[in-house]
């Protein structure tokens, strides 16, 4: 990947978790758990219809989150606020 170039161009910091350190990726692991409510392990995503996946993602993104002050990710992402605090997790 071109993360170094992208990071420099956009003046962003990039952080990477260590391999096999799932506790360093808490949000990622939590989201995987939410997806597992719809798609158990060993699910063959080659046969899952795109509409089925989109519906699961929409349902997950419309769940309120404590970390978002009980707003949904959908509400935060599509809010008109330009305040960066609205996007802090």
Residues 6+ apart with CB under 8 A from 19: none
Of residues 72, 67, 74, the one with CA closest to residue 89 = 67
pLDDT of residue 83: 55
Q: What is the pLDDT of residues 17-29, one digit of tens each?
A: 888 888 888 888 8
Q: What is the pLDDT of residues 37-49, one digit of tens each?
A: 999 999 999 999 9
């Amino acid at each position: 990947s071109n993360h170094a170039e992208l990071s420099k161009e956009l003046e962003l910091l990039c952080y990477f978790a260590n391999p096999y350190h799932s506790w360093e990726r808490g949000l990622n692991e939590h989201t995987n758990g939410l997806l597992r409510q719809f798609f158990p392990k060993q699910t063959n995503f080659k046969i899952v219809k795109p509409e089925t996946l989109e519906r699961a993602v929409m349902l997950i993104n419309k769940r309120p989150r404590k970390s978002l002050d009980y707003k949904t990710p959908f509400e935060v992402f599509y809010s008109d606020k330009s305040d960066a605090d609205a996007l802090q997790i």
